[in-house]
Structure formats: structure tokens, C-alpha cells
Amino acid sequence: MKNPNWPRWIFASASKHFFDAGAAATPAIPVFVENQKRDTEEEITLWEFRLDGPNIVELSKNFYELKVEINILIQTKLDIEDAHRHFDVVGIAQEKMENTISVFKYGNRAGDDDTFLECLHLRTEINEPVFVNHFGQIEPTTHITQSTVEGHYRMTLST
């Protein structure tokens, strides 16, 4: 039987992975979760964490494969003094799409105890497990450049 906590634990663990990566960057990169209320007028550079899935398939009795896509939207204000800053930040996000991301039972609900559950594994069997899209300046009046870095992951769990 599938565990209804799996999606929340994956989301909490993966978002923490990127929050920690943003905080460790020099200078630090603020990380927001998609649809999280925020005032970004003052932010020159930011990441927005987004997750699709998990898509869950029962491979055999009580043995499941879970697949997720982690997407980081990178946003920077145009900087005529450092045209490479945006690509520096894209490179950091790309680097943090690591081969494994640990998943823990994070939370304060029944069944949550912060223990290790399993690792998300980069799907190296597909042609582009991590890919980058550059959208450039999104509107002429905002002076904001955007890109995305997306990683495809899977994990197996049994109950």
C-alpha cells in the first residue's frame, strides 16, 4: 500500500536540499517555493523551487517506483557590469542537481520522525537527466532574465 506521506517527505527533503544550497552560495541566493508569497522587488537574484510528481507505479506487490522532476527557476536582474552573473547562478543550480538527494521523514505529523527514508537518484538512463532552458529577458520593462534547471529523479520504496 502506498504511503500518503511520501509526496510530502520528498517535497520537504528536496526543497531543503536547494534552500541549503542557496544559503551556502556566495553571495547567498534566496530560494522560494513556487506560489509562496514573497516580495522580490529587492532581490537581484533568486531561485524558485518547483517539483512535479511523484508519479508512483507499483512494480510488484508492495514495491514502488516514484519519479519526480525538480525544477529550479533562476531569476536575475540584468547587470551591465557583470553579464555572466546569471550564468554563474545557473551553474550553481546545475551543480546541485546531484546524483542523489536524501529523503527524510520531515514534518510534525503522524509518522514524521526526521529519519532517513531513501535517496532520489538522478535518472541517468534518460538522455538528459539534467537540462537547462534559457528564456532571456522576459519583458522589456522588467530587466529580469530567467532560466530553468530541471533534474529527473527516481526512487524505489517498499511497504
Question: Tens digits of per-residue pLDDT, 10-43?
Answer: 999 999 999 999 999 988 999 999 877 766 566 6
Rounded percentage of the chain residues whose pLDDT exceeds 70 = 96
Q: What is the overall mean pLDDT for the chain?
A: 91
pTM attached to this predicted model = 0.91
Nearest CA-CA partner of 68 in 1, 142, 7: 7
Beta strands in 61-97 (DSSP E): 63-77
Q: How far apart are CA 2 and CA 99, in angstroms?
A: 25
Residues 42-56: what's their mean pLDDT? Answer: 90
Kindly state the cell numbers that stand for 154. Answer: 527516481
CATH code that applies to domain 6-158: 3.30.2000.20
Q: Tell me the average pLDDT across 105-129.
A: 93
